[in-house]
Amino acid sequence: MSTTQSFNYDRLNELFERYELLSSPAEIHGTLAGLVASGSSIEGEDWLTLMSDLANEGQPFHPELTKTLKNLMQDICAALRDPDLGFQLLLPEDNAPLPERLQALVNWVQSFLVGFGINQQNLANVSSDLREVIDDMVEIAKVDFEVDDGEDAEHAYYEILEYLRVSAIMCFSELGNSQGGDCKTQKTLH
């Protein structure tokens, strides 16, 4: 099951706005995906406490938000484990203006790197391919996209989107999946 099938970006955005959450769905999804891909456990409440620090000024989430975030985290875990590579970035729909989708994509990758970096500050023990992927993500996160409407811009967007999707799966395969693939590892968030 892919993430985009289970969660609608616009509906999540409305929910986040209702509870005055400052982060967008792309940012929340990116952070959660980075945590999972780098080996964080979804058991317990540590990851939820961390998310409240990052996205809610340290305040506890409203119960409806807590339930939604837990479901989103479980969905990300399932999608990253999917043998059919069903993981998808949670971004605005394809009919949204390209500049809006590009900004959400940049926000997603920046947030992925934050979540990833919580567990993986030192990349010395990862494969060279994974180090290259993280370096590429850092560069993508810095880009200020100049958007020209047209088929070439759309094509470039989808190429970057696919690269990021596969990169997140690769991170999970190397690091997050190393404890059996159930998103329950021995690593503790601090």
Residue 50 CA from chain centroid, whole number? 15
pTM for the whole structure: 0.89
Across the chain, how many H-helices and E-strands are there?
A: 8, 0
- Assess contact for 176 and 36: CB atoms under 8 A: yes
Residue type at 132 in one-letter notation = E
Q: Please check the confidence at residue 3 and state whether its pLDDT lies above 50.
A: no
For 157-181, write each residue's pLDDT tens digit: 999 999 999 999 999 998 887 644 4
Per-residue pLDDT at 182: 54
State the greatest distance between any 2 C-alpha atoms of the chain, in Å, as a whole number.
Answer: 47
For 87-97, write each residue's pLDDT tens digit: 999 999 999 99
| Number of residues assigned to the chain | 190
User: Could you give the CA distance from residue 48 to residue 145 in angstroms, rounded to a whole number?
Assistant: 32
Structure tokens at 78: 């399932």
For 125-138, write each residue's pLDDT tens digit: 888 999 999 999 99
Segments making up each domain of the chain, as ranges: 3-176
Q: Which CATH number is 3-176 given? A: 1.20.120.740
Q: What is the CA radius of gyration of the chain?
A: 16
Per-residue pLDDT at 91: 96
The one-character DSSP state at 181 is S
DSSP per position, 8-50: -HHHHHHHHHHTT--S-HHHHHHHHHHHHHTT---SSSHHHHH
